[in-house]
């Protein structure tokens, strides 16, 4: 906080026009004032200032006032003493506290309104203490940050509440891994994570020319990303409620009070960008954009519940040592769905549908989640039966973390974890019940009586972040490999679903014809026409985890059949083209179609465009 103190014989001001988007109300005085024998405190609130700074500033001004004996103090907002300005919402709050703390010291105080261009006249006394400047900085005491008080319990499907330190985990090893990490802070052993190798195999890599934690995506990775993005929208639409798909900006001005308040609740992993004299936060999910749109919509109770969906490029300033390829990133893609409901009761009921969909999607890929329920104390006490109902639907005990109420915007925040191939909990999907942001962003709906109310909002990533969903699939492959099984991806997601390999160039045209027919049915297919041995080409296809390898030779051409090597069973079977197409169609049923990202002929690809 920077202060310029002028002891004025006379001082007057008058507000002319707004200087910010939402200036402070002019009040009864109409934005003007005339004073005599005033200590005018031109005040700039800087980035990082807090209430302790306002307290110390009041002490300094009080000392000066005791020496110059003014009739009153005029706190005058003045943005020109520093280039590192606090956001307006923080500035006006601290100016009010500054004035209040001066009053607590027995001083008469007037405060000019914040956020206005003002004209003023000033006649300075001219004595040695009539012009002073002061800079007040926040003092770093070295004290530890306040630790949020949490109470942990294990809640079982029968409604039992247990102490995590005495619970019997013999039948629940996955829960034990989560409890060890979250409750007891046990440093898990870890080890070599095969998922990192798989990610690189499919073209997921760190971008060396960017900030660390940002990835680049090769052709195979693009298929995986686009397929999951399309699938996430499909899953959102399957909930049985209306869902609107939107797009928007990824950076928001911290001068906007709701943006700032939401950012402060998020914590210390914010990506910030400074442009001119403004500070912007890069979004860490789709909340800001969707809420900014929703506050402009005219919503009736008849419209609720409904959802708003966006695959949001999201930014979190993760610690460098915590970054993990395909899992913990500084920039990632979040299929973010927000569902507006009338009240808490409706939010709980819709959340059961959301929970069911989350569990269903994990089951489809052969995984079972272990859950951490973060709940506010009031929700735990007043809605315990609802918590038990959620846990029954999990059909598995959950770890519950109870925190004091009123700290966060949510009353229930459920994190769904897998225990990965090296024994570490990894959060994938989530849902939250948000009781605060409807009011914060002024989102309203009209009740049957014509009143305006704020909705309760469900936040959810039904399949998790795009990269995290892929992490779960690749981790499943790693677990299969540990058990001696062939690792692979589901057919719908495999970058190349069918590879056709002619025994020699003599059969290349026929191979291309077969591939073209397969491609015509919407499948990703290519032809390995390289001048390599048949064995090498088959091995290379295996390294790319291609589900079906079709070998074309004289016998296949004459018999009008295909020799098909099936990855999942390691068998080679003979089938007709129609039989192969029917098998492919059955395996991808219900999943999106994504176009190929590579040329048809393998020989036309630079080696760096795909990994073996």
**Spans of the chain below 50 pLDDT:** 141-146
Residue 144 covered by a domain: no
**The two structure tokens encoding residue 327:** 């899992």
Q: What's the rounded Cα separation, in Å, for the pair 579 and 567? A: 17
Rounded Cα gap, residues 418 and 175, in angstroms: 10
Residue 521 lies in a domain: yes
508 and 563 housed in the same domain: yes
Question: What's residue 28's pLDDT?
Answer: 62
> Do 368 and 229 belong together in one domain?
yes
Instruction: Please count the residues of the chain.
Output: 612
Note the pLDDT of residue 278. Answer: 82
- For residues 52 and 170, membership in a common domain is answered with no
User: Number of structural domains, the chain?
Assistant: 3
pLDDT for res 142: 42
For position 419, which CATH number holds? 3.30.930.10
- Per-residue model confidence as pLDDT tens digits over 549-606: 999 999 999 999 999 999 999 999 999 999 999 999 999 999 999 999 999 999 998 8
Which of these, 303, 308, 349, 350, lies nearest to 447 by C-alpha position?
303
Q: Can you list the positions of beta strands (E) in 29-114?
A: 32-44, 72-77, 109-111
Residue with tokens 């073996």: 612
Distances (CA, A) of 318 to 147, 181, 589: 20, 18, 38
Determine, yes or no, domain membership for 249.
no
Integer Cα distance of 587 and 535 in angstroms: 27
Residue 84: which of 279, 314, 259, 327 has the closest Cα?
A: 279
Burial class (CB in 10 A: 0-12, 13-18, 19+), 612: exposed
- The structure tokens 């996430």 sit at 232
The H or E element that residue 280 is part of is: strand 278-282
DSSP 185: -
CB 611 within 8 A of CB 218: yes
Q: How many CB atoms lie within 10 A of CB 5?
A: 23
For β-strands 498-502 and 548-552, DSSP reports them as parallel
Asked if the structure places residue 279 within a domain, the reply is no
Residues 230, 322: one domain? yes
Helix, strand or coil for residue 170?
coil
Q: Residue 97: which domain range?
A: 2-135
- pLDDT confidence of residue 141: 45
For residue 394, give the nearest of 375, 409, 373, 374 by alpha carbon: 373
Per-residue pLDDT tens digits for 200-219: 999 999 999 999 899 999 99
Q: What's the mean per-residue pLDDT of the chain?
A: 93
340 and 369 both lie in a single domain? yes
Q: Are residues 448 and 303 in the same domain?
A: yes
CA atoms within 13 A on the CB side of 590: 8
| pTM of this structure | 0.82
199 and 103 in a common domain: no
Torsion from C-alpha of 479, 485, 486, 490, nearest 10 degrees:
-60
């Amino acid at each position: 906080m920077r202060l310029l103190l002028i002891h004025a014989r006379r001082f007057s001001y008058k507000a002319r026009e707004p200087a910010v988007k939402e200036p402070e109300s002019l009040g009864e005085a109409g934005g003007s004032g005339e004073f005599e024998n005033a200590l005018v405190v031109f005040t700039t609130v800087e980035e990082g200032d807090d209430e302790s700074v306002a307290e110390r500033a009041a002490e300094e001004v009080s000392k000066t006032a005791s020496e110059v004996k003014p009739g009153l103090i005029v706190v005058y907002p003045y943005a020109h003493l520093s280039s590192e300005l606090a956001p307006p919402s923080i500035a006006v709050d601290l100016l009010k506290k500054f004035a209040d703390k001066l009053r607590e010291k027995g001083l008469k105080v007037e405060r000019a309104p914040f956020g206005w261009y003002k004209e003023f006249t000033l006649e300075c006394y001219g004595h040695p203490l009539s012009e002073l400047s002061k800079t007040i900085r926040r003092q770093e005491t070295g004290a530890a940050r306040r630790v949020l008080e949490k109470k942990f319990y294990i809640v079982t499907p029968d409604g039992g509440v247990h102490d995590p330190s005495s619970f019997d985990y013999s039948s629940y090893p996955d829960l034990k891994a989560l409890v060890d990490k979250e409750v007891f802070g046990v440093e898990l052993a870890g080890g070599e994570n095969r998922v990192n190798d798989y990610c690189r195999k499919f073209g997921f890599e760190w971008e060396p020319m960017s900030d660390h934690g940002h990835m680049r995506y090769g052709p195979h990775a693009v298929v995986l990303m686009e397929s999951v993005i399309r699938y996430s929208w499909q899953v959102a639409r399957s909930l049985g409620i209306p869902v609107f798909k939107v797009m928007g900006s990824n950076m928001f001005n911290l001068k906007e009070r709701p943006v700032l308040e939401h950012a402060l609740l998020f914590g210390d992993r914010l990506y910030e960008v400074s442009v001119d004299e403004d500070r912007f936060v890069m979004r860490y999910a789709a909340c800001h954009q969707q809420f900014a749109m929703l506050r402009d919509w005219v919503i009736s109770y008849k419209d609720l519940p409904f959802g708003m969906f966006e695959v949001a490029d999201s930014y979190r300033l993760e610690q460098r040592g915590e970054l993990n390829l395909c899992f913990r990133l500084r920039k990632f893609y979040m299929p973010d769905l927000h569902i507006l409901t009338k009240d808490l009761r409706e939010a709980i009921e819709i959340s059961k549908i959301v929970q069911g969909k989350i569990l269903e999607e994990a089951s489809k890929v052969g995984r079972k989640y272990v859950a951490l329920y973060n709940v506010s104390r009031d929700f735990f006490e007043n809605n315990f039966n609802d918590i038990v109902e959620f846990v029954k639907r999990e059909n598995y005990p959950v770890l519950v973390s109870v925190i004091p109420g009123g700290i966060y915007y949510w009353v229930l925040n459920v994190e769904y974890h897998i225990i990965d191939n090296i024994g570490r909990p990894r959060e994938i999907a989530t849902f939250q019940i948000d009781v605060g942001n409807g009011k914060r962003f002024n989102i309203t709906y009209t009740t049957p009586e014509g009143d305006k109310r704020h909705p309760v909002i469900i936040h959810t990533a039904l399949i998790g972040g795009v990269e995290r969903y892929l992490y779960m699939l690749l981790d499943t492959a790693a677990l299969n490999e540990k058990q001696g099984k062939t690792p692979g991806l589901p057919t719908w997601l495999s970058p190349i679903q069918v590879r056709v390999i002619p025994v020699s160039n003599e059969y290349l045209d026929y191979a291309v014809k077969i591939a073209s027919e397969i491609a015509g049915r919407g499948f990703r297919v290519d032809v390995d026409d390289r001048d390599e041995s048949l064995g090498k080409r088959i091995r290379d296809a295996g390294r790319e985890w291609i589900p079906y390898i079709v070998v074309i030779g004289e016998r296949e051409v004459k018999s009008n059949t295909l020799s098909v090597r099936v990855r999942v069973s390691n068998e080679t079977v003979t089938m007709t083209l129609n039989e192969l197409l029917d098998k492919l169609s059955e395996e991808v049923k219900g999943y999106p179609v994504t176009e190929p990202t590579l040329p048809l002929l393998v020989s036309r690809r630079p080696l760096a465009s795909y990994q073996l």
